[in-house]
Amino acid sequence: MNKAFEKVIIVTGGAGFIGSHVVRYLLKKYSTYQIINIDKLTYAGNLENLKDVSDHENYKFEKIDIVDAEALRAVFKKYEVTDVIHLAAESHVDRSIEGPMEFVLTNVVGTVNLLQVAKDFWAGGENHVFHHVSTDEVFGSLGTEGLFTEETSYDPRSPYSASKASSDHFARAFFHTYNFPIKMSNCSNNYGSHHFPEKLIPLMIHNIQNNKSLPVYGKGDNIRDWLWVEDHATAIDAIFHRGRIGESYNVGGLNEWTNIKLVKFLCQLMDNKLNRISGSSEKLISFVGDRAGHDKRYAIDASKLERELGWKPSITFEEGLEKTVDWYLENQDWVEKVTSGEYQKYYQKMYTER
């Protein structure tokens, strides 16, 4: 084992939205850990997200596709990896509808590769953790009442959620078959800084600022539970360190909002921030044809996480949204870089030629 560090943790998808927050959080909190970020740097993963910690002495980056089992083995051997926090995934529902195979490869095959490589390297050893991070979308769609619990039956409705459900099942299978040290979590919709602008909240912020149309699916009455990404990072920390092996924990923001209510609230916030006449941005809202198989409502019961580990959201949705809006308005250079594709060309070239 690498004697220089108490733990050597791989964070997969560490250049992505949630992953970059987890990497940053761990580096700042645990000086005795080495954090290995592995990411294949797709359109939604970029190292601009981690510029502030890229020179940290305990941080390493490896450009790897988790579908490549040999590359994973090489990294486990190189760094003597002790633990994994697995976040890497293709995650955009619309893209999964257009082309599901990429989701099968990354989310299913990639996860099984990672599980198998970790199992082989940790054979006979103790004190390892493989934290598999998943989504509430595996549970399907709720009616007007009720919440998703850890015992809710799986009922995925999109190729994305089906691929994540499969990866969850493989993680559980490794625990039951091999006594592999799995911990799992299923989270609600995340929001916050560094979110790729194809997703609802950053897309609306960007479009409002630029006086572009605000497309809302159907009637805008689909309901989502929103979780501030920095709160999600603290939940992952709690589960990774103190959660029980073989257990699953739901992570939610206790924040149910219809899409149209959320967009209108963002319009009000942005009108205030941009010194516009109140109500002017709402005129940009445009209702468009609904997404195929659009789940009606998601809502998480996170009481197990609070009861066992003492975790609960730290801020309200309104507070988190204002922080998020402020970040995007103050970081226009980041938005321009990630939407132009310039960063992709730069980093792809850098890590291909080195």
136 is catalytic: yes
Token digits of residue 155:
């009922």
231 is catalytic: no
- Name the active-site residue from 48, 137, 231, 301: 137
- Name the active-site residue from 25, 160, 249, 343: 160
d(CA 50, CA 52): 5
Task: Return the CA Rg of the chain.
Answer: 20
Token digits of residue 127:
């004190």
- Name the active-site residue from 48, 83, 90, 136: 136
Buried b (16+ CB within 10 A) or exposed e, 182-215: bbbbbbbbbbbbbbbbebbbbbbbbbbbeeeebb
83 is catalytic: no
Show which residues are catalytic: 136-137, 160
